[in-house]
């Protein structure tokens, strides 16, 4: 024991020996958003670094399956940006930032084509263009994809682009703190190499956070271990604002059985390609909940429907619903959904081309996040930018499938450009040594605690609490109870202890994950308590209705003296020309399509 502690370097810190780097722009996160930001920031001669806590190309983005939504109009020519905008706002229940959604819908086709220029090879239409598939609550077939492995294509393309670019990549380096200067501007960050635990400080003029979401706060999740919300927590602690953080998306179809794979995503592509949902009575229950869009209704609706079927005791043996695609030709299923086919065959012994399989809701995505400016992704901390799942604004109360991959491309690029412009306008900041000293001490503390709490156990207890009290169904009562439990857990977590050395020590790494998650867990619960209504992903049994006055506010949270403070901010109203799009009950493209068809019908 004692020799271990010696090797963990608990002797007083000598700041001069800490590895230090200077960069104009440091991007934290090597998912789609981070890589796209790095590419944008490195267009000129600026010094750019990317830091990621896993290896290059392994970030959570790699798991995205269904596709990237862009109104290319390759299969449905009536599609255009305004329809995509309409769908996005509507599914977000109008608490999204309209400007963010507008920029997004207009720019995402260019970002997708840019990927093609860089070597991404999407599936093709018979005319040789990028193929697009239908997805829940999109008015048209809109998702560019490669089988059910679109995220892999995206990250691989960006990854190989970035390594051929003037960017330094630091793999397996975990950021534990953002550093500020005397005036509260960004000055850099502190982190450690996972490999051997040695510390590193980056002095940076601007930082882009692209650290993804925090699905790991829940027990059943489709997210990878990295999704512990580090970025949001880091930024929150230095004064950045969080918004709509109560909006956590539960994807309707995760795997249920066997236990080891519980939560693993079953892509919406299965329903997009024609998969149907049944309850234990073999009824297509979605016909009851949403007769128009049926299985392809938006995610919050389908997830809730499955949940309600189970409450009414019409669920499957392991508490889900049956998803069936076996009515389609086996060859087609294997060609269009090869990953799903393989996943079920090898992990669950189920051949999806022959039989139905069980699915149930799984934690999937966080709509809320760091509050940013729609044009530049700047936070309220000068020099700090955020893009991707860690940021907030595009998705409102419910994210459309396929919008996230577009999100990370569009706003990753914008954040990179804005960070570069900012970096070029300022001098290198001055670091405050006391901040670094304090952080070294904090980071090493778990090694010196005797018989403390085990980080892994803290993690599973936290997940238990969030799932039970702030999951897919919530009420004032459950949330209050959750808060209480969380507070107790937080106190215990202050005494987390780790064994062994600093070299590649997952126990030690988990300590920081747990700390981020507890902080964000509290934010989620406080946000959910404040939003006294049901809207999109937020479903409160004590306020089951969507209330018009609540549709006019976002809940913004700040961290003041160790406390989470929640306040209301009005939702920015849409300008005239955009508001007009919502006058009719139908999406603009659908109206145009109907008119065109009527014309043709009249003409013939």
Ligand X SMILES: Cc1cc2nc3c(=O)[nH]c(=O)nc-3n(C[C@H](O)[C@H](O)[C@H](O)COP(=O)(O)OP(=O)(O)OC[C@H]3O[C@@H](n4cnc5c(N)ncnc54)[C@H](O)[C@@H]3O)c2cc1C
Of the ranges 51-59, 289-297, 324-332, 381-389, which one interacts with another protein (CB under 8 A)? 51-59
| 452 is an interface residue for ligand X by CB under 6 A | no
128 binds, among another protein, ligand X, none (CB under 5 to 8 A by kind): another protein
332 binds, among another protein, ligand X, none (CB under 5 to 8 A by kind): none
| 113 is an interface residue for another protein by CB under 8 A | yes
Question: Which is nearer to ligand X, 174 or 538 (by Cβ)?
Answer: 174
Question: What b-and-e string marks burial along 225-264, b requiring 16 or more CB atoms within 10 Å of the CB?
Answer: ebbbbbbbbbbbebbbbbbbbbbbbbbbbbbbbeeeebbb
Nearest by Cα to 190 from 467, 435, 523:
435
CA dist 176 and 596 (Å) reads 56
Name 261's Cβ contacts closer than 8 Å, sequence gap at least 6: 255, 347, 348
Q: What angle do CA 363, 251, 414 make, to 5 degrees?
A: 85
Tokens of 358: 């069980």
Q: Three-state SS across 96-137? A: CCHHHHHHHHHHHHHHHHHHHHCCCCCCECCCCCECEECCCC
Site for ligand X in 516-555 (CB under 6 A): none
CA dist 413 and 274 (Å) reads 34
| 244 is an interface residue for ligand X by CB under 6 A | no
**What are phi and psi for residue 340, nearest 5 degrees?**
-65, -45
**From the CB of 221, what's the least distance to ligand X, in Å?**
8
247 binds, among another protein, ligand X, none (CB under 5 to 8 A by kind): none
CA dist 39 and 161 (Å) reads 8
| 43 is an interface residue for another protein by CB under 8 A | no
Name 438's Cβ contacts closer than 8 Å, sequence gap at least 6: none
The verdict on whether 271 is a catalytic residue reads yes
Question: Which is nearer to ligand X, 407 or 533 (by Cβ)?
Answer: 407
| 456 is an interface residue for another protein by CB under 8 A | yes
| 149 is an interface residue for another protein by CB under 8 A | yes
**What are phi and psi for residue 515, nearest 5 degrees?**
-60, -45
| 495 is an interface residue for another protein by CB under 8 A | no
Site for ligand X in 131-170 (CB under 6 A): 150-151
| 92 is an interface residue for ligand X by CB under 6 A | no
Binding mask 187-216 for ligand X (x = CB under 6 A): -----------------------xxx----
**From the CB of 39, what's the least distance to ligand X, in Å?**
13
**From the CB of 173, what's the least distance to ligand X, in Å?**
6
498 binds, among another protein, ligand X, none (CB under 5 to 8 A by kind): another protein
Identify the residue among 29, 368, 369, 589 touching ligand X (CB under 6 A): 29
Q: Choose the catalytic residue: 251, 399, 502, 540.
A: 251
CA dist 468 and 539 (Å) reads 14
SS3 (DSSP) at 249: strand
CA dist 117 and 310 (Å) reads 47
CA dist 186 and 553 (Å) reads 29
Question: What b-and-e string marks burial along 14-35, b requiring 16 or more CB atoms within 10 Å of the CB?
Answer: eeeeeeebebbbbbbbbbbbbb
**From the CB of 52, what's the least distance to ligand X, in Å?**
4
Contact status, residue 186 vs residue 382, Cβ threshold 8 Å? yes
Of the ranges 329-337, 388-396, 523-531, 564-572, which one interacts with ligand X (CB under 6 A)? 388-396
SS3 (DSSP) at 348: helix
| 510 is an interface residue for ligand X by CB under 6 A | no
| Total binding residues toward another protein, as defined by CB under 8 A | 70
Contact status, residue 154 vs residue 61, Cβ threshold 8 Å? yes
Site for another protein in 163-222 (CB under 8 A): 163-164, 169, 171, 195
Q: Three-state SS across 296-335? A: HCCHHHHHHHHHHHHHCCCCCCCCCEEEECCCCCHHHHHH
Q: What angle do CA 199, 422, 159 make, to 5 degrees?
A: 60
| Cis ω before 182 (30° cut-off from 0) | no
Binding mask 378-417 for another protein (x = CB under 8 A): ----------------------------------------
Distance of CA 456 to the CA centre of its chain: 23
**From the CB of 251, what's the least distance to ligand X, in Å?**
8
Question: Which is nearer to another protein, 163 or 565 (by Cβ)?
Answer: 163
Identify the residue among 403, 478, 510, 557 touching ligand X (CB under 6 A): 403
| 343 is an interface residue for ligand X by CB under 6 A | no
| Total binding residues toward ligand X, as defined by CB under 6 A | 45
Identify the residue among 24, 76, 226, 461 touching ligand X (CB under 6 A): 226
Contact status, residue 256 vs residue 358, Cβ threshold 8 Å? yes
Question: Which is nearer to another protein, 324 or 453 (by Cβ)?
Answer: 453
The verdict on whether 177 is a catalytic residue reads no
**From the CB of 231, what's the least distance to another protein, in Å?**
17
57 binds, among another protein, ligand X, none (CB under 5 to 8 A by kind): another protein
Of the ranges 225-233, 349-357, 369-377, 451-459, which one interacts with ligand X (CB under 6 A)? 225-233
Identify the residue among 503, 530, 566, 581 touching another protein (CB under 8 A): 503
Identify the residue among 26, 27, 28, 72 touching ligand X (CB under 6 A): 28
**What crossing angle do the helices spanning 32-41 and 150-163 adopt, rounded to 10°?**
30
| 291 is an interface residue for another protein by CB under 8 A | no
Half-sphere exposure of 483 toward its Cβ, with a 13 Å CA cutoff? 17
**From the CB of 373, what's the least distance to ligand X, in Å?**
17
402 binds, among another protein, ligand X, none (CB under 5 to 8 A by kind): ligand X
Residue tagged 């990878």 (tokens): 224
Residue tagged 């139905």 (tokens): 356
**From the CB of 317, what's the least distance to ligand X, in Å?**
24
Residues of this chain that bind ligand X (CB under 6 A): 28-34, 51-54, 59-61, 63-68, 150-151, 174-175, 210-212, 222-223, 226-227, 230-231, 265, 364-365, 388-390, 401-405, 408
- Residues designated catalytic: 251, 271
Residues of this chain that bind another protein (CB under 8 A): 54-60, 62-63, 113-119, 121, 123-124, 126-130, 146-147, 149, 151-153, 156, 160-161, 163-164, 169, 171, 195, 224-226, 257-261, 264-265, 339, 342-343, 346-349, 454-457, 460, 498-501, 503-508
């Amino acid at each position: 024991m004692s020799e271990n502690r010696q090797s963990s370097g608990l002797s007083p810190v000598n700041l001069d020996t800490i590895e230090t780097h200077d960069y104009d722009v440091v991007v934290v996160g090597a998912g789609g958003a981070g890589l796209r930001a790095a590419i944008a920031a490195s267009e000129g001669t600026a010094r750019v670094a990317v830091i990621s806590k896993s290896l290059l190309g392994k970030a959570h983005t790699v798991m995205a399956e269904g596709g990237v939504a862009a109104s290319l109009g390759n299969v449905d020519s009536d599609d255009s940006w305004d329809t995509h905008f309409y769908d996005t706002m509507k599914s977000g229940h109008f608490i999204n930032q309209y400007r963010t959604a507008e920029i997004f819908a207009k720019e995402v086709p260019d970002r997708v084509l840019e990927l093609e220029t860089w070597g991404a090879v999407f599936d093709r239409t018979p005319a040789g263009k990028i193929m697009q598939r239908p997805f829940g609550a999109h008015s048209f077939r809109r998702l560019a994809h490669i089988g059910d492995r679109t995220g892999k294509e995206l990250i691989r393309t960006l990854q190989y682009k970035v390594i051929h670019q003037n960017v330094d990549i630091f793999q397996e380096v975990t950021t534990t703190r953002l550093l500020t200067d005397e005036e509260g501007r960004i000055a850099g960050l502190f982190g450690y190499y996972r490999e051997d635990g040695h510390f590193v400080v980056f002095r940076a003029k601007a930082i882009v956070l692209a650290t993804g979401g925090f699905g790991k706060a829940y027990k059943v999740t489709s997210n990878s271990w990295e999704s512990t919300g580090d970025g949001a927590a880091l930024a929150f602690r230095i004064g950045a604002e969080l918004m709509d953080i109560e909006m956590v998306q539960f994807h309707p179809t995760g795997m249920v059985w066997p236990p080891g794979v519980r939560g693993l995503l079953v892509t919406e592509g299965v329903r997009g390609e024609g998969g149907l949902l049944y309850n234990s009575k073999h009824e297509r229950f979605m016909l009851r909940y949403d007769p128009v869009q049926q299985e392809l209704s938006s995610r919050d609706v389908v997830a809730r429907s499955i949940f309600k079927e189970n409450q009414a005791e019409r669920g499957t043996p392991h508490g889900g619903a049956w998803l069936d695609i076996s009515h389609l030709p086996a060859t087609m299923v294997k060609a269009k959904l090869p990953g799903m086919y393989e996943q079920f065959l090898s992990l669950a012994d189920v051949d999806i081309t022959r039989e139905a399989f069980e699915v149930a809701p799984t934690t999937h995505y966080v709509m809320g996040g760091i509050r940013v400016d729609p044009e530049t992704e700047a936070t309220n901390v000068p020099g700090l930018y955020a893009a991707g799942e860690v940021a907030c604004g595009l998705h409102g109360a419910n994210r459309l499938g396929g919008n996230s991959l577009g999100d990370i491309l569009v706003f990753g690029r914008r954040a990179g450009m804005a960070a570069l412009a900012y970096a070029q306008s300022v001098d290198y900041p001055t670091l405050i040594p006391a901040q670094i000293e304090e952080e070294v001490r904090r980071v090493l503390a778990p090694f010196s605690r005797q018989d403390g709490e085990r980080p892994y156990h803290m993690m599973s207890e936290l997940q238990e609490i969030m799932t039970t009290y702030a999951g897919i169904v919530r009420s004032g009562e459950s949330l209050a109870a959750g808060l209480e439990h969380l507070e107790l857990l937080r106190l215990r977590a202050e005494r987390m202890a780790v064994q062994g050395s600093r070299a590649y020590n997952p126990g030690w790494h988990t300590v920081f994950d747990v700390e981020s998650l507890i902080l964000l867990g509290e934010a989620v619960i406080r946000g959910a308590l404040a939003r006294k209504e049901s809207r999109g992903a937020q479903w409160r049994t004590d306020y089951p209705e969507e209330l018009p006055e609540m549709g006019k506010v976002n809940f913004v949270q700040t961290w003041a003296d160790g406390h989470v403070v929640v306040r209301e901010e009005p939702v920015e109203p849409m300008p005239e020309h955009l508001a007009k799009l919502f006058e009719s009950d139908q999406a603009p493209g659908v109206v145009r399509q109907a008119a065109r068809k009527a014309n043709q019908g009249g003409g013939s």
